[in-house]
Structure 1
Amino acid sequence: MAVPSDLPWAGTGLGPLAGRVLECLVTQPELSSEAVAEALGVTSAAAERALQALENERLVVRVGDRPTRWSAGPPRSTLGSLLAQRRQELARAELYMEQLHEAYRSASHRRVTSDLFEVVESAEQVGVRYAQLLASSRHEVLHLAKPPYVTRSARLESTSVPTDSAAVADAPDPEVPVPDGVRLRSVYDTDGLTDTVSLRTALSGTARGGELRLLAGLPMKLVVFDATAGIMPLRQEDPSAGSLIVHSTTLLGVLTALFESVWERATPVSLDSGRGRPPITAAEPDGRPPGRMRDILTLLRAGLTDDAIARVLGLSRRTIQKHISETAELLGARTRFQIALMARDRGWLEDAPGVVAAPAERTAG
């Protein structure tokens, strides 16, 4: 029977090579260290070190001495004994963790009101906690970003955490990468896309595999990590005043539901691959406006200004205004709201996969 080679040896305290050596020996009666090395394609010295590590844990025994051969014991009893020892060690570590947590809560410089909430007033500490929570995420990070954003202060210049993440993570921190396999979903308030820098910040997560949407009038700033922890500002109007770290599962459930309702209403935006949409003047076969024109209408409906639309799409403000004016004349609309409403009623925005944004370096200033 084949033995799988991807067993979680880290849980036993064994190194990867020691685990492979044990797998090899349980299927063979007796092997020398040279035979083990040859079977695994490693050096004799490396095989010998792995065998000694296994012997120290009483997982293998020496048989004979000319040459020395090695034999594995019954895994259920030998590995079972080792795992029982590791469980005892983990139980002691968990007890010590609780003692450390009590010391952490009682520290005079922290405000931990309970196990459900933690108040962090220092911008540097907010950034550190954000980085810790992001790095430990395993499934999904949810992110709402809206103005006012915090500007970089002199005291943060020496830190490795960008200002936005130090202020309730207005943007995913590029220096703390999202762990592999973790889904990042961000919604940015359209009122925040007032310059090229803010747009580049919003698109930075998308460039690293995240998902971005835009919506006017976001209710709050928020980051939720794996539905187990969240960060929100103490005062929405002043994000530099500190943050509340939430551990309450009930409140996190409410915050996650809030995010999902916002996500459903927001406009998807993806990063242009360089081949992008067809020319803005090219008509679709069904008579609808071309893809880029529909992008403009979609962003118009989302509440973006002409300047913000130009930055997102990498077009000039004059081009955006020209096509909005032409579309208004075609539809007989007098206001931006009427343009978006009538375009929707004509089915121009149906089945739209989302807006394709230009790379930040190509956005109009």
Structure 2
Amino acid sequence: MGAVPPDIASSELRRPIERALLVQQHAIAAIREALYAAEDVYREEHRESGTAVRLLNGSDVIRAALQQAREACEHELLTAKPGGTRPLDNLARALPNDLVLLSRGVKQRTLYQHTVRTHGPTLAYIEKVTTAGAEIRTLDELFDRLIIYDRRIAFIPDPLLDVSTAALVIEHPAIVHYLATVFDHAWQRAEPVSITPEQIRPPLMTDETRRAVLRLMVEGHTDAAISKRLGISTRTVSTHIRKASEALNSRSRAQLAYLLAKSELLDDVVL
């Protein structure tokens, strides 16, 4: 057997190695393509779930997000504003924004607590927006602050953080639908606000507030807790309790709670 030329020997030796390298390159390319596809799916799912509920930090960030949602709103704005009367600067800031939405044909419904019916600045705001087409109703108790645009995006406070500088924006359809349903149920129970020239608070408002105060007292809440839940002062809470005590001739808070719990006064009789 003669000697094999070096170039032929080199080719024969390289061939299996090159073949193995080619197979590995194809495998690497297939893996890379699969990972790219998986990454696309991950990014899409992360994008959808990541924006379903987002935390907004900072009052400027919250205002910017609200403005963006407001500008995109086309059909309906639902708001719940607990806590009684509203600060004057909040009313001044909200009025032009609400009037712009109303002028665009956006339906607006707002829930307050009964105490706004005796607050002049809030009534002046209500008069302006209701004249432009908004609807306002009040309840004795109200859930936390809520804003919903077009039943598509909702804003609520984060109960674990400072409500003045943190908020949650929700775009998950099922959660937004649930929040809108909660609002609708409360709206059905609420009393419409109609501004009259003399603007006299209907007796019903006082009666409902007193029943709410007494019901919470029977449940064991302190005056401070009742005040916070109903958006009224602790002095007003004490006044309602005192008048009920006088009407029932009770000598102590415990006796009053006992008499109320055994009776139907909270449901049927105005004290």
The unaligned stretches of length 5 or more in structure 2 are: 1-42, 214-225, 251-255
Taking structure 2 as the reference length, the TM-score comes to: 0.52
Q: Is the 8 A contact 2:155 2:167 kept in 1?
A: yes
What's the CA shift string for 1:255-294, capped at 9, x where partnerless? 11222233334x42514311456xxxxxxxxxxxxx8433
Cα distance, 1:238 vs structure 2 = 1.7
Q: Is the 8 A contact 2:123 2:195 kept in 1?
A: no
Pick closer, same or farther for the CA change 1:137–1:301 going to 2, 3 Å.
Answer: farther
The amino acid across from 2:191 in the alignment is P
SS at match of 1:186: strand
Which of 92, 95, 113 is the aligned partner of 1:174?
95
Pick closer, same or farther for the CA change 1:219–1:184 going to 2, 3 Å.
Answer: same
Which residue is equivalent to 2:206? Answer: 296
Larger relative contact order (CA 8 Å, sep ≥ 6): 2
What's the CA shift string for 1:15-58, capped at 9, x where partnerless? xxxxxxxxxxxxxxxxxxxxxxxxxxxxxxxxxxxxxxxxxxxx
Which of 64, 69, 82 is the aligned partner of 1:133?
69
Cα distance, 1:229 vs structure 2 = 0.7
Which structure 2 residues correspond to residues 47-126 of structure 1 after superposition, within 5 A? 114-126=50-62
Q: Matches of 2:85 and 2:232 in 1, distance apart?
A: 20
Which residue is equivalent to 2:8? Answer: none
Could you list the structure 1 runs, at least 4 aligned residues long, displaced by more than 6 angstroms after superposition: 148-152, 307-310
Which of 162, 171, 196 is the aligned partner of 1:273?
196
Rg larger in structure: 2
Taking structure 1 as the reference length, the TM-score comes to: 0.40
Q: Is the 8 A contact 2:77 2:149 kept in 1?
A: yes
Count of residues in Structure 1 that have an aligned counterpart in Structure 2: 193
Q: Is the 8 A contact 1:141 1:226 kept in 2?
A: yes
The unaligned stretches of length 5 or more in structure 1 are: 1-104, 106-110, 153-161, 166-170, 278-290, 311-316, 349-365
The reply on whether 1:208 has 2:143 as its aligned counterpart is no
Cα distance, 1:176 vs structure 2 = 0.9
The amino acid across from 1:249 in the alignment is P
Cα distance, 1:239 vs structure 2 = 0.7
Pick closer, same or farther for the CA change 1:207–1:259 going to 2, 3 Å.
Answer: same
Which structure 2 residues correspond to residues 255-274 of structure 1 after superposition, within 5 A? 255-265=179-189, 267-274=190-197
Identity rate, percent: 15
Cα distance, 1:142 vs structure 2 = 1.6
Q: Is the 8 A contact 2:145 2:156 kept in 1?
A: yes
Q: Matches of 1:225 and 1:144 in 2, distance apart?
A: 12
Q: Is the 8 A contact 1:172 1:205 kept in 2?
A: no
Which residue is equivalent to 1:345? Answer: 268
The amino acid across from 1:253 in the alignment is H
